[in-house]
Structure 1
Amino acid sequence: FKVRDVESININIDFEGLNYFKARRNALGPSSLQGEEPYKKVTIDWREDQLRGKMKLKGLGPDHRDHPTKWSFAISLKGDDSFLGMNRFSIHHPKTRDYQGECLYSKILIDNGDLAARCEFIEVSINGESIGVMTATERVSKNLLEMQGRKEGNIFRPSYEDMWKDLGRAAQFKRSIKNPAASKSFQLHTEAHALNRLLTPLEVYGSGKLSESDELTKQYSVAIGLWEGMLSGHLRPSDIFDIESTARIIAATFAVGNFHSLQTHNIKLYFNPLTYKFEILPTDAVFGRSPSPRYLPPNGLGYIWGILVSDRELYRELLEQINLLVQRHAAEGSPFGADFSIIESQYLDVLRPEFPFIVPHNTETFGRRFDTHLKALTSNTFFLDYAPLDHTTVFAAHPDFDLGNPVFASFYNTPEGIVIRVINRYSFPMKVDGYELEYFDSTEVLRKSFEMSDIEVPATMHGIGESGSRVAGEVSISVPTVSGIERLKLLLSSEDNSRSYSANVSAYPAPVKTHVLSPSDLGEILETHQFFKLNTTSKVLTIPSGKWRITTFIKPPPGYGLIVEAGAELLFDANAGFLLRGPIRVLGSPQNSVTFSGYGGAKWRGISLINSNYWSHGQRSSLKNTVISGTRNAAYGPWEITGGVTFYKSDVDIISSTISGTEAEDALNIVHSDFTLVDAMISDTRSDAFDGDFSVGRIVNSTFARVGGDAIDFSGSEIDVEDSKFFTVADKAVSVGEQSSLTGRQLRIVDVGTGIVSKDGSQTRVDGVTFGKTQHYEVMAYSKKPQYGPAMLFVDNALADQKIRSIAQKKSTLRLNGETTPTQKLNVDALYDGYMAK
C-alpha cells in the first residue's frame, strides 16, 4: 500500500462522552488503568458508511495516555458492522508498540498461518479533528478466528484481573519501607508472585455466550481440564499444544528479538475444536533492535517458558523452526523473506510524514542474533539463562501489607463428593479453618458453616518442576456433595493465626490425566483386530484383502499411516471409526474396490485425518476406487466434528471413489489441505456433500446427487471445478464464500434449489454451464458476512431450459453472458431464515 491508500475514520462522540474520557485521562495521570472502564456510544464515519459502536479507554500503562491527543481506545462495533473486517479493535499511538514493529510481527505470524491480532495504520479524527496516524489492532472475537481460517472455538487467557491491583498496592507499600535492601527485596518478591499467572484460573472470552452453545460449553471444560492437567504434571505441553504452530511462533518471536508478546499475561489461547489442542495467540507485540532478545523475564511472567521448553518434542520442533529461519536469512537476507524490507518501507511511508525520525530495522541484526544465541539454543541452555530469580523473603516481615486474595480456590464434583482445590499465591503456608456454604434447598436458601483443622496449604515458591509442571502450594479437600450451591466461601488464616482471610470458591473443571484423543495402544489394536499388519520401521498399519469387522474407534500414534489393500471390505460398529495422524492409502482398483460401511447397517464414525502433513512430513493420502457409505459425524468422547470423512491439514487425492448415505453435517470436509477429486461421486447426503475450508484443490469429472444441503461449499479456498454434474440438490449446487476464488468449466446443474452463489468477498468465474429445473435463482452474488466485503460472479456461455434468473446485492458484481445484472437491496438474513435455512 501507499500513503494515499491509508484508511481514514472519523469517530463521532457526544459532548458528555468526550468530556468523560478527558476527565478520566487527566485524573489517572501517571497511574495505571485498573479494572473495567465504561464504554461510551460512538458512530464512525468510514468510506461511505457510518458504523455503530461503543468505545472506552484502554491500556494499563501511562504511555497509553501521555500524548495530548493520541490516547488508546478499545472499540466494539454493533451487529454486523465491521471495519477492515474487524468488529472489535483498538487504536493507540504507534510508539506504544514500537511504531512499525507491531504490524510487522502480526504480518509475519499471519503469513506463516499462525494466529495473530491483525494490525493496520489508519488516520483517525475525533469529531472532525484529526489526531493523526494511529495503530489499529484487532481484539479477540469470533471474527478474528474466522478471518484467519479457524473454526469457532473458545479463546482463553490466564486471569490477571488481580495482577495490576496487587502490583499497585505493593508499589505503594514499598514506598513506606525505609531500608533500601528490604524495599528491593519486597519489590522483587511481590512482583514474582503477582506476575505468576500460572497460579491463576483460565478465563474464557465471551463467557456469557457459553450457555448458548453445548459444543462450546463442552470444549470449555475439556480445555481447562487439559490445561490444569499440564500444570499438574499429568500431561506434557506437546499433549495439549499444537506442536508446529507453538514452535513456529516461539521461533519467530526469538528472531524478532522481543518476547513481550509471549509473556504469560499477554498470550491468549485458542482451543481448536478439530484438534482439541491449544494454539497461542500472542498480543502486544514489539520488535527488538539488539542481538539479545528482550523480555525473557526473571519473574513469574517467564514461567510459561519453563514449561513449554521443558517438552522435548516441542523443543525439537522449535530448533527445526529456528534452523529454517537461519537458512532463509542466509538465502534471502532476512529470516522472514526477501520482501521484509519492502513491507517495512511501506509501513514507514505511512508513519514518517508524522514521525520522520523512525528508522528501519537492520536486517543484519537477525544474523547477529542467530550467531549470538544459536549455540545456547542448540544445547538447550538459552532459556535456562533466563530462569526466574529465587526470592525467599516472606511477608511475615511486613505484617501491615494487604495481601489481597492470598489463594485461588475452586471446586468440582466427583461421584464421591465435592473437591475443593486451593492454590497458594504466596511463599508461606496458610491454614484452612473451614468453609461457609449457601445452597438452595427446594424452597429456600440455607446457610451453613463447617470447621476444619490440620489442613495446610503449602507455600508456593518459584521455578518449574522437573516434569515441566507448575510449582505451587496446593491442596485438595474433599467435602460432602451438596446440590444447588449458590455460594461457597473458604476460611483461612496465617500459620501463626495473626491474620484471617476468606476466598470465594468458584466451580472450575478438574485437571485430567490423559488427553481424550491420546493414541490407541498398538498392541491393543493388533489384539482386538488381528487382521492388521504392523511395520514399526515404516510406521504403517496395513489391512489386507478380505472381509473385516472394526469394533472400536482406532487412533494410531501420530506419524503412523494406514494402507488398505485392494479387495478389503471393512464393516464398522456404530461407534467405530478411524482417527489418523498420518496418511491413509486405499489401494482399490476398478476390478477390486475397497469398501467402508456400517456393520449390520449401523451408521459409523467415519474416517478423520488430523495434521497428517506435519506428522508424515508432507506425504499425501489417496483414496482410489473406494466406496464409503453410511457414515455419521466423527466423535469420540467429548470430541465431535462435523464431517463423516475429514482431512485437516492432510493433503489428499480422491480418485474414482464414492461417498454416500451419510448422516453427517458434511459428507466430506477438507480443511487447510491440498486436494484433488477426480471421477468421484458424493450422493444421498442428509446435509452438505462437500465442505471445503481454507483449502486449494481441483474437482474433475465428479458428480453430486441427491444432496440435502449444498453440493459443494467453500470458504477461504482456491478451487477449480471442471466437467462436473450436480443433480437434485436441496440448497446450492455451488456455494463460494469467505473470500474464496473458484473457476468452473463445463458444469451441469439440474433440479437444485439455487445454482451458483458467490458471496462474502469471493470471486467466481464459470465458463460453460447448463441449468435445468432450478427452484429459485440460477446465479446470485451477495454478502452474508459484511466483514468480507462484496462478491463477484462472472458466468459465460450459460444455458437453461428457461430464462436464467440472476440477483446481485448492492456493491456486489454479477455478469451473466456478458451482461451486468443491476444491483438491488437484498435481505440476506431473510434468505437464510427462509429457503436457504438448514
Structure 2
Amino acid sequence: MSKGVKKKRKVIRLVMGLILLGVLAGFVGDRLLKRKGHPGLRRFVAQWVGNYPKSFAIEPPLLSIHVGDLELERLQNVVNEARERGVILPEGNEYVSAELTSNGKTFKARVRIKGKMTDHVKGDKWSFRVIAKKDGGFLGMRRFSLQHPGTRNYLYEWVHQRLMRGEGIVALRYGFIRLEFNGEDRGIYAYEEHFGPELLEHNARVDGPLFRFDPGLFWQHRLNEMEGVRYDEPFAAYQAAAVDAYGTGAISKDPKATRDLEEAVALMNAFRNAELPASQVFDADRVARRLALLDVLGGHRSLDWSDAKFYYDPVLRRIEPVAYESFSAHPIRTIAGAYQWAGRTDPSQDLHTAWFNDPVLFKAYIHHLERFSRATYIDSALHALAPALDTASATVYGEFPYKELDASTYYANQRIIRQVLNDPKGFHAYRDGREGDTLSISAVPIGSLPIEIHGIRFGDADPTPVIGGTILPIRQVGKPGVPATFRFLMPAGPDENMDLSVVYSVLGASVRKEEKVLPFRLLDGVGVSPVAGTPRSDLRALPFLSFSDDHRTILLKSGEWTIDKDLVIPAGLVVKGVAPLKLVLKEGARIISSSPVLLQGTDEAPITIAAPEGGSSRVVLMGNGGRSEWGYVHLEGPEKGMSGTGAMLLIDGVGLIMDHCRFTSMTDGGMITAVRAELRMDRCMVTGGKDQLASAFSTVVLDHCSFSGASDDCIVARGGALRIVRTQLLNVKGIGLKLNTSAMATLDLAEVQAAGKGIEVKEGSVLTVKESRIHAQGAGVEVAREEMRYGPSIVDLQQVEISGSVPVANGKGNKVTVNGEAFRPTGTADRQ
C-alpha cells in the first residue's frame, strides 16, 4: 500500500473522529441546556446569532462603584463567610463607604452585600444594596439594589414592574446597566429601586410609611432547615411577625410620620386579628389587580407573606400593595384565588387567604382576571412597551443573548385563567320543596371558586331574586361539596313543579349562566344555613334622602339635618342638593361619596355643611365616577377649642368645580386636600385653618379667589400643575406658596402676603409669575439649590413687585429670570 493511500486514510479517520466528537459534544451540550430549562442547543445558537448583534445598537448606562482597600476587605469577608455557610447573615454585613459615578457625576454612598442566599455572591457578580448620601442618587433613586439580572429572571421582572405601574400599583424602578467595581467591568447588572421617599414620588403618592412583615424570624427558620434542625418553630409564622417599617430612624424623628406608622400598624393588626375586613384596611381594588396580574405573569411563588410589601396612604387611611419580586414567568395550573374561599375571616388564616375571603376584594379580583386574561391585554401591553422593551432587551443581550422574553407563558396562563373561570358546571341544584310562598333549593358546590346566586327562573319568566345570602362556598380539596340552601319568593302563577333554573356567576364575574334544578330533593339529612352577605347601610331609610324614579339619583331634602354616622354613597349614582339646605356633622360623622355630588345654593341662601366638633376629613369625594360641581356652598369647620385632624374637604382621584364657595375654620386643621384630582375654584373664599390648600399630583385652577388667615402655609403643591389668576393669598403666617417634587405653577395678577417666605420653589419645580405682588417678611421668592435626582428648578418673574428680607434667593444650578434677564445664584438659598 502506497504512503499516499495511508495518509489519506489517516486524514479520513481524523475527520470522522472530529465529526463524531462534535456530534457527541453537541448532544451533551443539548442535554445540559435542556436540564437547565432551555429549549436546546439549536435554539441557543440561534439566540446568540440573532440577539447578540442587537446589543451593538445601544450603549447601556454605566455606573461605577469605588471602595477603598479596607472597605473592599470587609465586603470580601462577607462574601467568603456566605460562601462557607451557604447563606448571607446580617451579622457583620455592615454598610461601607463608597463613591459612585454615573454620567460624569460622582456622589458618595454606602454599600453592602445584598440578599440572603449565596446566588448573590456567586463569581464576581456580587449583589449590592446602595444608599446615596445627601442629594446624590442614580436615575432618581437614593436607595437601590444592584444584582445579577438572573436574580429576578432577567426581562420578566422588568415586564412585571411596568405592568404593575400601568395598573396604578406602587412599582419599583427596575432596569439594566453596565457596572464597574473598582475599575473592573462586572458586566450587565439589574438595578432595582429600594423603599424610600423617592419610590412614593415616582408613583405619585403622598408621604406615608413603607413597611412589611419583618422576615427575620422566618429566615431563622429557613437557616435551621438548611442546617438540618427541624422542630416546631412558632416564631416563624405569619401571625408572629412584627410589622416593620423601612426608614424607622427617620420616622422616629418625625411626629407625623410616627403617627402614620402607628395607624398603619393598628390597621394591619386589626386585619390579622379578623377585627376589620380587608376591604376596610386595604385598597381592595389595587390588591385585587396585583393578585390577578400575578396569575397572568405566573408569579405564584411570590404569594408569600414574607415577600409582601406595603404603603400606607395617610390621607385615605388605607394600605396599598407594593409590586415586588414576581418570581415570574412560570406556567400555572390554577389561579391564586382557587380553593381559598372559606366564607369567613379568621386570625388563623394567612395573609392571602384572608384577602381572598373578603367579598369586595374577591369580586374585584375576578373582574380584573377577566380583563387581564383577554389575549388583547398582553398584545396591547407589549405593543405599548415595545420601544422601552427593545432597549432593555438589547442591554441584556450584551451579556446574556439567550435570555429572551418569551411571552408564550403569559398567553398559556391566560388560557388557563379563562378555563378556570368557565367551568362547565358551577354546582348541582336540587328542589327542596315549597313552604308557603317560599321555594327552597339546595346547591352542592363542585368548583374551586365561590358562586354568587342571582336568582331563579320559573320557565321563561324573568329571574326572581334570592332571599338572604347569595354566595355558595367552594368545594374543599379532596372533599365532597357541602350543600347550601337558597330561598326564593314564589311569584303568583308559576307551579313549583315547572322547569326551574338558577341564574349564577362566579363571585365577581360578568358572565352569568344558568343551571337546571333537578326535580327531586337532596335527602342527605344535612342542613346548611345560607352564607350571610356583606352588610350594607340602607340609604333609603335615612330621612334626609330621597331617590329618583330610576333609582340612580339621590336627592338631599331641603331643611336642616344632623348626621351622626358616616354617610357613604357608593359608585354609580348622582347626589343632588339645592337650597335651602344645611347639614350638621356630629360625633365625627363624614360624608364619603364615590359618586358625583352636585350642590347648588344661592347668594342669599347658600348650602351649608357644618362640622362643629372637628375630627378627620369631613367631606370626601373619591373614586372615578365623574365630576362634582358646587355653587354657593359654605363649609364651616370646627369651632374654637375643637380639634381638626384632617382636611375639611378631601378630593381623591376625581374632579370638582366650585363657584362662589366659602371655607371657614377657627382651628389649625387643614382646609382642602386634592390628591391626583382636578380642582377648579372660581370666586371662592378660604379663611382660617392651617394648610389651606394641599395639592398632591393634581391639576388646580384658582380664579378670582381669596385665601386668608392661614396659621401655617397657604398653598402647598407637590407635583401636578396650578394656575392661579387674580387670586389673593393674604395674612399667611407661614409660606404663601410652596412648590416641590416637579410641581408647575403659573400666577397672573395675583397677590401674596406672608409672614414667612412668599414663594418657595424646590425639587425641579417650574414657576411663572406675571404682573403680581409678593410681600413677605422672609425671602420674597426662594429657589432651593438643584438636587441631582430632580434637576434644576425654573422660575420666570415678569413685572412682579417683590418685597422681603431677600427679594429673590436663587440656589445653585437653577434657571431664574427676572423680566427676561438671567438672575445669578445668590448663595442664600443654598444655606437653607
TM-score by length of 2: 0.70
Match of 1:554 among 539, 544, 566: 566
Any idea what SS the aligned residue of 2:172 has? coil
Offset at residue 342 of structure 1 (A):
2.0
Question: Partner amino acid for 1:355?
Answer: F
Q: Which moved more, 1:626-635 or 1:773-782?
A: 626-635
Offset at residue 554 of structure 1 (A):
2.6
Any idea what SS the aligned residue of 2:750 has? strand
Instruction: Determine the structure 1 residue equivalent to 2:26.
Output: none
Match of 2:809 among 807, 810, 813: 807
For 1:569 and 1:307, how far apart are their aligned partners in 2?
42
Q: In 2, are the aligned partners of 1:629 and 1:662 still within 8 Å (CA)?
A: no
Instruction: Determine the structure 2 residue equivalent to 1:165.
Output: 220
Instruction: Determine the structure 2 residue equivalent to 1:782.
Output: 784
Q: In 2, are the aligned partners of 1:660 and 1:685 still within 8 Å (CA)?
A: yes
2:171 maps to 1:116: yes
Q: Which moved more, 1:685-694 or 1:334-343?
A: 334-343
Any idea what SS the aligned residue of 1:643 has? coil
Q: In 2, are the aligned partners of 1:604 and 1:632 still within 8 Å (CA)?
A: no
Instruction: Determine the structure 1 residue equivalent to 2:632.
Output: 625
For 1:367 and 1:224, how far apart are their aligned partners in 2?
39
Distance 1:57 1:333, change over 3 A: closer
Offset at residue 134 of structure 1 (A):
1.8
2:714 maps to 1:711: yes
Distance 1:196 1:11, change over 3 A: same
Match of 1:264 among 305, 328, 334: 305
Instruction: Determine the structure 2 residue equivalent to 1:372.
Output: 416
Q: Which runs of 5+ in 1 are unaligned?
A: 175-185, 388-461, 467-517, 831-838
| Structure 1 residues 723-734: aligned runs within 5 Å | 723-734=726-737
Q: In 2, are the aligned partners of 1:751 and 1:773 still within 8 Å (CA)?
A: yes
Question: Partner amino acid for 2:137?
Answer: S
For 2:59 and 2:448, how far apart are their aligned partners in 1?
43
Any idea what SS the aligned residue of 2:89 has? coil
Any idea what SS the aligned residue of 1:157 has? strand
Q: How many residues align?
A: 670
| Structure 1 residues 247-262: aligned runs within 5 Å | 247-262=288-303
Instruction: Determine the structure 2 residue equivalent to 1:92.
Output: 147
Q: Which moved more, 1:590-599 or 1:800-809?
A: 800-809
| Structure 1 residues 38-49: aligned runs within 5 Å | 38-47=94-103, 49=105
| Structure 1 residues 671-682: aligned runs within 5 Å | 671-682=675-686
Q: In 1, are the aligned partners of 2:615 and 2:645 still within 8 Å (CA)?
A: no
Q: In 2, are the aligned partners of 1:157 and 1:203 still within 8 Å (CA)?
A: yes
Instruction: Determine the structure 2 residue equivalent to 1:70.
Output: 125
Distance 1:307 1:803, change over 3 A: closer
Q: Which moved more, 1:198-207 or 1:366-375?
A: 198-207
Distance 1:523 1:712, change over 3 A: closer
| Structure 1 residues 630-649: aligned runs within 5 Å | 630-631=637-638, 641-649=645-653
2:73 maps to 1:19: yes
Q: In 2, are the aligned partners of 1:633 and 1:644 still within 8 Å (CA)?
A: no
| Structure 1 residues 604-615: aligned runs within 5 Å | 607-609=618-620, 612-613=622-623
| Structure 1 residues 523-562: aligned runs within 5 Å | 526=542, 530-533=543-546, 538=551, 542-550=555-563, 552-556=564-568, 558-559=570-571, 562=575
Offset at residue 136 of structure 1 (A):
1.8
For 2:333 and 2:384, how far apart are their aligned partners in 1?
24
For 1:130 and 1:385, how far apart are their aligned partners in 2?
55
2:326 maps to 1:285: yes
Offset at residue 376 of structure 1 (A):
0.7
Offset at residue 48 of structure 1 (A):
5.5
Any idea what SS the aligned residue of 2:568 has? coil
Q: In 2, are the aligned partners of 1:705 and 1:728 still within 8 Å (CA)?
A: yes
For 1:667 and 1:238, how far apart are their aligned partners in 2?
27
Distance 1:669 1:293, change over 3 A: same
For 2:615 and 2:218, how far apart are their aligned partners in 1?
49
Q: Which moved more, 1:574-583 or 1:50-59?
A: 574-583
For 2:813 and 2:717, how far apart are their aligned partners in 1?
21
- What's the CA shift string for 1:564-586, capped at 9, x where partnerless? 32221334558454344544332
Question: Partner amino acid for 2:632?
Answer: N
Q: In 2, are the aligned partners of 1:783 and 1:828 still within 8 Å (CA)?
A: yes
Offset at residue 245 of structure 1 (A):
0.9
Instruction: Determine the structure 1 residue equivalent to 2:352.
Output: 305
Match of 1:771 among 770, 773, 794: 773
Q: In 1, are the aligned partners of 2:334 and 2:416 still within 8 Å (CA)?
A: no
Distance 1:809 1:752, change over 3 A: same
Distance 1:794 1:209, change over 3 A: closer
For 1:590 and 1:790, how far apart are their aligned partners in 2?
46
For 2:337 and 2:569, how far apart are their aligned partners in 1?
35
Any idea what SS the aligned residue of 2:306 has? coil
Q: In 1, are the aligned partners of 2:295 and 2:332 still within 8 Å (CA)?
A: no
The share of aligned pairs that are identical, in percent, is: 18
Q: In 2, are the aligned partners of 1:765 and 1:793 still within 8 Å (CA)?
A: yes
For 2:684 and 2:553, how far apart are their aligned partners in 1?
26
Any idea what SS the aligned residue of 1:248 has? helix
Distance 1:665 1:598, change over 3 A: closer
Offset at residue 271 of structure 1 (A):
2.6
Q: In 2, are the aligned partners of 1:736 and 1:758 still within 8 Å (CA)?
A: yes
Instruction: Determine the structure 2 residue equivalent to 1:8.
Output: 62
2:672 maps to 1:661: no
For 2:699 and 2:216, how far apart are their aligned partners in 1?
43
Q: Which moved more, 1:798-807 or 1:778-787?
A: 798-807
Distance 1:119 1:297, change over 3 A: farther
Instruction: Determine the structure 2 residue equivalent to 1:134.
Output: 189
Distance 1:772 1:783, change over 3 A: closer
Instruction: Determine the structure 2 residue equivalent to 1:340.
Output: 385
2:652 maps to 1:652: no
Q: In 2, are the aligned partners of 1:2 and 1:346 still within 8 Å (CA)?
A: no
For 2:260 and 2:548, how far apart are their aligned partners in 1?
35
Q: In 2, are the aligned partners of 1:9 and 1:44 still within 8 Å (CA)?
A: yes
Q: Which runs of 5+ in 2 are unaligned?
A: 1-54, 341-347, 427-445, 450-476, 482-533
Instruction: Determine the structure 2 residue equivalent to 1:314.
Output: 361
Instruction: Determine the structure 2 residue equivalent to 1:394.
Output: none
Question: Partner amino acid for 1:369?
Answer: N
For 1:750 and 1:157, how far apart are their aligned partners in 2?
44
Q: In 2, are the aligned partners of 1:160 and 1:197 still within 8 Å (CA)?
A: no
Distance 1:203 1:803, change over 3 A: closer
For 1:536 and 1:142, how far apart are their aligned partners in 2?
49
Distance 1:635 1:255, change over 3 A: farther
Instruction: Determine the structure 2 residue equivalent to 1:589.
Output: 602
Match of 2:579 among 566, 580, 592: 566
Instruction: Determine the structure 1 residue equivalent to 2:793.
Output: 791
For 2:640 and 2:213, how far apart are their aligned partners in 1?
33
Q: In 2, are the aligned partners of 1:734 and 1:757 still within 8 Å (CA)?
A: yes
For 1:19 and 1:804, how far apart are their aligned partners in 2?
51
TM-score by length of 1: 0.70
For 2:639 and 2:256, how far apart are their aligned partners in 1?
17
- What's the CA shift string for 1:198-224, capped at 9, x where partnerless? 553433334456654555555545544
Q: In 2, are the aligned partners of 1:33 and 1:60 still within 8 Å (CA)?
A: yes
Offset at residue 347 of structure 1 (A):
0.8
Q: In 2, are the aligned partners of 1:748 and 1:769 still within 8 Å (CA)?
A: no
Distance 1:627 1:783, change over 3 A: farther
For 1:630 and 1:208, how far apart are their aligned partners in 2?
35
Any idea what SS the aligned residue of 1:339 has? helix
Q: In 2, are the aligned partners of 1:240 and 1:278 still within 8 Å (CA)?
A: yes
Offset at residue 815 of structure 1 (A):
2.0
Distance 1:375 1:294, change over 3 A: closer
Offset at residue 658 of structure 1 (A):
1.7
Any idea what SS the aligned residue of 1:719 has? strand
Q: In 2, are the aligned partners of 1:741 and 1:762 still within 8 Å (CA)?
A: yes
Any idea what SS the aligned residue of 2:403 has? coil
2:783 maps to 1:759: no
Distance 1:543 1:371, change over 3 A: same
2:397 maps to 1:360: no
For 2:639 and 2:196, how far apart are their aligned partners in 1?
30
For 1:345 and 1:633, how far apart are their aligned partners in 2?
61
